[in-house]
């Protein structure tokens, strides 16, 4: 044993750094095996299984029948089927919801980050405060917003009525024109701290000298922002947008709790439609097919993100 | 803009007069900055305030037609009720804690093992595995919940906290591994070499040198595993149908009886279940932010 180690030491002393520490591949496999089992057994296998389910006509508790791409055809092409309209509606709602949430989180995140990065007093205190929504469980804040929006005794409506601004309560969550906006505001409230954080980290990485030089050249703060800050922040913005696009479009809590997809399906994003089809209509085939239709989009985003993350790790 | 709104200590408004102060270069930006900050603070705090204020109000006060932003009478009745024996809330909190702690322990352990191997050992398939972990971390739960529901049903692990813990490992193990890999890489390799020369085994090196040196990173991994599991909703909603095994987030919806919402009780439960992540965040901010920048957060 000792001999082996000495041999190893002399053999690798000239080799590059990482290889200096031996080639214990058995230990390598042993240590990674549990994590590998989790990834394969609980992520890769279910993913494949979802695809297999999506090729079947299968109800909860029933036997599946192989129907090829039948579920996909019903979703995408068969304008006669009930699910066709619901599916394309969910495509539209998901796109609106994701775009709206990303825009809102971008604006609030950017403003917060810029303010937190400037020389304000008690910066640490303000940062702590603005990140609080992240620490609140999403389910909790969804119910809190539902209570704020409530048409009978919700604080928003009581306030508006008492101030004489409205005569009848506004149906924030039941009016088809307003529901998606109301849900968006709650989702933006919870999601913007993540953007603030990444933007703040990005701002801190920009060298101060650039601003000093620009100031000497007479650039005003707005010019400095658009000529220095924004271009240098672009990589951070790109990653944040991609990550948030995946997470936002897949988040189910707000739509489920605030409106459950209603009124008239105006807030039924695709995860919620999949949930309804699988858990209340018991159609596992369709419920598996719905998210898989979106899978290529996520796969592309995940591919680019992974490449970036691995490159960062070096 | 950020750089330009730096104040000069000697020229605060009180000392020179507001108008003069405002006419100075870039003062306007500074003022706008503070006004925006105030607005952001109000927007951030109001729902949190409203949630806790509601939990402390009597029902008569909650359903009065005039708005009172500050409660007139404070009462602990909602807390008393939900913590009492006729409510499943305490049990659901316990379920949440069991699942979150189990997930945290398992994922930190597996993450440390895999993270060590992936940064320090050379074996075929290492890079493929690292890549797989990132893919797994980013894979959305909405694609996995139906197959996991069917799998857990077949395995008899539905309405079972073990089944839920397994489901949570799908995102906590990849994250913990990823996070720890980044940290292990920064630990000087010489310490391990010295120990190996002195005859320590790899296994000993991992537990006696690497793990003690990686305290902060392990805390970050644990904090995130705990918070993500404590707050998780979708898997819990799908996998748990019996009230006795529900975790607190799913149990919260049970305060809705038909069209009747018991807002006081619900907000009391909501306030209690917000406390663990909030306390962790307020006292462990350093670690939370470290993990945040490592890409830990689902927004």
| A54-93 pLDDT per residue, tens | 999 999 888 888 998 999 999 999 888 889 999 999 999 9
A242: Cβ contacts below 8 Å, ≥ 6 apart: A301, A304, A305
Give a yes or no: residue A36 inside a domain. no
- Asked whether B238 and B247 are in contact (CB, 8 A), the reply is no
- Residue A10, class by beta-carbon neighbours within 10 Å (0-12 exposed, 13-18 middle, 19+ buried)? exposed
Contact status of B289 with chain A (Cβ, < 8 Å): yes
- Asked whether A112 and A192 are in contact (CB, 8 A), the reply is yes
Give a yes or no: residue A16 inside a domain. no
Give the pLDDT band of residue B245 (cuts 50, 70, 90).
very high
| Cα dihedral A85/A91/A94/A95 (nearest 10) | -130
Shortest alpha-carbon distance between residue B105 and chain A (Å)? 13
- In chain A, which among 70-99 make CB contacts under 8 A with chain B? none
Taking CA atoms, B106 is separated from B94, B172, B239, in Å, by 18, 9, 20
- What pLDDT digit, counting tens, does each position of B16-49 carry? 455 555 556 667 777 888 899 999 999 999 999 9
**Chain centroid, CA A14 distance in Å:** 46
Is B196 within 8 Å of A29 when comparing Cβ atoms?
A: no
Tell me the chain B residues in contact with residue A139 when contact means C-beta distances shorter than 8 Å.
Answer: 231, 233, 249, 252
Give a yes or no: residue A30 inside a domain. no
Residue B297 has pLDDT above 70, yes or no: no
Contact status of A217 with chain B (Cβ, < 8 Å): no
Q: What is the pLDDT of residue B13?
A: 45
Tell me the chain B residues in contact with residue A291 when contact means C-beta distances shorter than 8 Å.
Answer: 140, 142-143, 146
Is B147 within 8 Å of A47 when comparing Cβ atoms?
A: yes
Domain count, chain A: 1
| Spans of chain A below 50 pLDDT | 1-20, 314
Q: How far apart are CA B299 and CA B296, in angstroms?
A: 9
Is B6 within 8 Å of A118 when comparing Cβ atoms?
A: yes
Give a yes or no: residue A13 inside a domain. no
Tell me the chain A residues in contact with residue B181 when contact means C-beta distances shorter than 8 Å.
Answer: 313
Tell me the chain A residues in contact with residue B62 when contact means C-beta distances shorter than 8 Å.
Answer: 153
Please give the share of chain B, as a percent, with pLDDT higher than 70.
Answer: 87
Give a yes or no: residue A8 inside a domain. no
Give a yes or no: residue A69 inside a domain. no
Tell me the chain B residues in contact with residue A222 when contact means C-beta distances shorter than 8 Å.
Answer: 1
Q: What is the DSSP letter of A61?
A: T
pLDDT average, residue stretch B115-133: 88
B contact test, residue of A5, A9, A13, A42 with most B CBs within 10 A = A42
pTM: 0.87
- What pLDDT digit, counting tens, does each position of B152-211 carry? 999 999 999 999 999 999 999 999 998 898 888 888 888 888 888 888 888 888 888 888
What is the extent of the structural domain holding A299?
Answer: 80-311
Q: How far apart are CA B95 and CA A72, in angstroms?
A: 38
Shortest alpha-carbon distance between residue A80 and chain B (Å)? 25
- Asked whether B65 and A158 are in contact (CB, 8 A), the reply is yes
SS3 content of chain B, % helix, strand, coil (to 5): 75, 0, 25
Residue B298 has pLDDT above 60, yes or no: no
Q: How far apart are CA B235 and CA A192, in angstroms?
A: 24
Q: What is the pLDDT of residue B289?
A: 72
B46: Cβ contacts below 8 Å, ≥ 6 apart: none
Shortest alpha-carbon distance between residue A138 and chain B (Å)? 7
Is A287 within 8 Å of B146 when comparing Cβ atoms?
A: yes
Give a yes or no: residue A65 inside a domain. no
Contact status of A56 with chain B (Cβ, < 8 Å): no
- Residue A148, class by beta-carbon neighbours within 10 Å (0-12 exposed, 13-18 middle, 19+ buried)? buried
Give a yes or no: residue A49 inside a domain. no
Tell me the chain A residues in contact with residue B293 when contact means C-beta distances shorter than 8 Å.
Answer: 197-198, 201
**CA Rg value for chain B:** 25
CATH classification of the domain holding A245: 1.10.3720.10
B contact test, residue of A29, A38, A297 with most B CBs within 10 A = A38
ipTM score assigned to the predicted complex: 0.87
pLDDT average, residue stretch B222-245: 93
Shortest alpha-carbon distance between residue B217 and chain A (Å)? 16
Q: Which two tokens stand for residue A182?
A: 């109301």
Higher-confidence residue of A17 and B113: namely: B113
Is B196 within 8 Å of A195 when comparing Cβ atoms?
A: no
């Amino acid at each position: 044993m000792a001999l082996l180690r000495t041999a190893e030491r002399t053999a690798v002393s000239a080799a590059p750094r990482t290889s200096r520490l031996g080639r214990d591949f058995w230990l390598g496999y042993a240590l990674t095996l549990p994590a590998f089992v989790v990834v394969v057994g609980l992520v890769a296998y279910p993913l494949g299984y979802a695809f297999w389910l999506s090729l079947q006509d299968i109800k909860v508790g029933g036997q599946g029948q192989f129907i090829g791409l039948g579920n996909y055809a019903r979703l995408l092409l068969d304008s006669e089927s009930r699910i066709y309209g619901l599916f394309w509606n969910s495509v539209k709602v998901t796109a609106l919801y994701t775009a709206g949430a990303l825009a809102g989180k971008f604006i609030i995140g950017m403003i917060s980050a810029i303010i937190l990065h400037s020389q304000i007093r008690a910066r640490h205190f303000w940062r702590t405060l603005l990140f609080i929504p992240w620490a609140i469980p999403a389910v909790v804040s969804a119910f809190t917003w539902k209570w704020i929006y409530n048409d009978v005794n919700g604080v928003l409506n009581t306030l508006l009525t008492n101030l004489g601004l409205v005569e009848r309560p506004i149906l924030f969550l039941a009016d088809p024109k307003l529901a998606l906006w109301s849900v968006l505001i709650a989702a933006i409230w919870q999601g913007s701290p993540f953007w603030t954080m990444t933007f703040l980290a990005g701002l801190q990485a920009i060298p101060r000298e650039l601003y000093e030089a620009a100031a000497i050249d007479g650039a005003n703060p707005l010019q400095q922002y658009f000529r220095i800050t924004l271009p240098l922040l672009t990589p951070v913005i790109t990653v944040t947008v991609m990550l948030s696009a995946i997470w936002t479009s897949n988040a189910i809590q707000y739509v489920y709790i605030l409106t459950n997809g209603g009124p008239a399906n105006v807030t039924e994003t695709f995860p919620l439609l999949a949930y309804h089809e699988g858990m209340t209509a018991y159609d596992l085939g369709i419920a598996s097919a719905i998210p898989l239709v979106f899978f290529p989009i996520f796969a592309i985003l995940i591919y680019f993100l992974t490449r970036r993350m691995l490159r960062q790790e070096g | 803009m950020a750089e330009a709104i730096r104040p000069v200590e000697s020229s605060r408004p009180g000392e020179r007069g507001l108008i003069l102060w405002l006419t100075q270069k870039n003062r306007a930006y500074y003022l706008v900055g503070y006004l925006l900050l105030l607005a952001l603070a109000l927007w951030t705090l109001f729902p949190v305030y409203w949630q806790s204020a509601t939990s402390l109000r009597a029902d008569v006060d909650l359903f009065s037609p005039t708005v009172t932003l500050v409660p007139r009478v404070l009462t602990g009745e909602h807390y008393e009720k939900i913590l009492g024996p006729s409510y499943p809330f305490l049990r659901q909190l316990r379920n949440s804690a069991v699942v979150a702690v189990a997930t945290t322990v398992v994922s930190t352990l597996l993450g440390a093992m895999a993270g060590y191997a992936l940064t320090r050992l050379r074996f075929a398939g290492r890079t493929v595995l690292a890549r797989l972990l990132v893919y797994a971390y980013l894979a959305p739960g909405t694609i996995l919940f139906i197959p996991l529901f069917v799998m857990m049903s077949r395995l008899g692990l539905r309405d079972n906290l073990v089944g839920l813990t397994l489901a949570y490992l799908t995102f906590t193990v990849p994250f913990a591994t990823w996070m720890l890999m980044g940290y292990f890489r920064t630990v000087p390799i010489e310490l391990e070499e010295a120990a190996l020369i002195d005859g320590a085994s790899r296994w000993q090196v991992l537990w006696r040198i690497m793990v003690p040196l990686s305290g902060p990173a392990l805390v970050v991994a644990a904090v995130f595993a705990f918070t993500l599991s404590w707050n998780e909703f979708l898997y819990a909603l799908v996998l748990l149908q019996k009230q006795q095994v529900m975790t607190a987030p799913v149990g919260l919806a049970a305060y809705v009886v038909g069209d009747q919402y018991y807002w006081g009780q619900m907000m009391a439960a909501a306030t209690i279940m917000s406390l663990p992540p909030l306390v962790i965040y307020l006292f462990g901010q350093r670690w939370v932010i470290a993990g945040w920048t490592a890409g830990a957060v689902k927004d």
